[in-house]
Chain A
Amino acid sequence: MAALLVFLFACPLFLSDRMLTILTTMGIAVVSVHGLNILTGYCGQISIGHSGFMAVGGYTSAILCAKLGWPFWAALPCAALAAGMAGLLFGLPSLKIKGFYLIMATIAAQFIIIWIIIQLRSITGGTDGLLVPKPVIGGISLSSKTNYYYLVMVFVVLATITAHNIIRTRAGRAFIAIRDNELAAEVMGVSLWSYKLQAFFIGCIYAGVAGSLLIHYVRFASIEQFPFWDSVWYLGMLIVGGMGSTAGAIFGVVALKLLDELVTVAGPILAAAVAPQAAASLALITHGLVIIIFLIFEPRGLHHRWEMIKTYFRLWPFSHQEIE
Chain B
Amino acid sequence: MTFFLQLVVTGFAQGMVYALIAIGFVIILKCSEVFNIAQGHFVLIGGYLGYTFLVPLGLPIWAALLAAIAVAIAMGLLIERLMLRPMVGQPVLAVVMMTIALATVLGGLATLLWGAEYKAYHGLLPTITMKVGEISIPSESVIGLIVSVICVVLLMLLFRYTKIGLAMRATAEDLQVVQSVGIKATTVYAASWVIASVVGVIGGILLGGVSGANMDLALIGLKAFAVVLLGGVNSIGGAIVAGIILGMLENVAAGYLDPLLPGGGLAQVFPFFVMIIVLVFRPHGLFGLAHIERV
Contacts and interface: CB of A to CB of B under 8 A. Distances in A.
Interface of A: 40, 46, 92-93, 96-97, 99-101, 103-105, 107-109, 111-112, 115, 118-119, 121-122, 126-127, 182-183, 186, 192, 229, 232, 235-236, 239, 243, 275-278, 280-285, 287-289, 291-292, 295-296, 299
A105 B279 contact: yes
B295 A99 contact: no
Given A232-B100, A281-B112, A119 B35 contact: no
A101 B283 contact: yes
Contact of B94 (A281, A287, A295): A295
B102 interface: yes
A277 B101 contact: no
A172 to B, nearest CB: 20
Nearest to B276: A108
B265 A289 contact: no
Contacts of A183: 295
A93 B263 contact: no
B279 A288 contact: no
B111 interface: yes
Given A104-B279, A115-B265, A126-B263, A239 B229 contact: no
Given A93-B276, A93-B279, A182-B295, A278 B112 contact: yes
B111 A100 contact: no
Interface of A, secondary structure class, is: helix
Contacts of B93: 40, 46, 103, 235, 243
Interface of B: 35, 83, 86-87, 90, 92-94, 96-98, 100-105, 107-112, 115-116, 222, 225-226, 229, 261-263, 265, 268-269, 272-273, 275-276, 279-280, 283, 295
A42 B162 CA distance: 45
Contact of B275 (A96, A105, A118, A288): A105
Nearest to A283: B108
A277 B279 contact: no
18 contacts: A103-B35, A103-B93, A107-B222, A108-B226, A108-B272, A112-B269, A119-B261, A126-B262, A183-B295, A239-B97, A243-B93, A276-B115, A281-B109, A281-B112, A281-B116, A283-B108, A285-B112, A288-B101
Contact of A285 (B109, B225, B269, B280): B109
A283 B104 CA distance: 9
A96 B262 contact: no
Given A111-B269, A275-B112, A288-B101, A299 B90 contact: yes
Contacts of B105: 284-285, 288-289, 292
A322 B104 CA distance: 46
A-B CB proximity, top 10 nearest = A284-B108, A285-B108, A288-B104, A288-B105, A108-B272, A281-B112, A281-B111, A118-B263, A291-B101, A115-B269
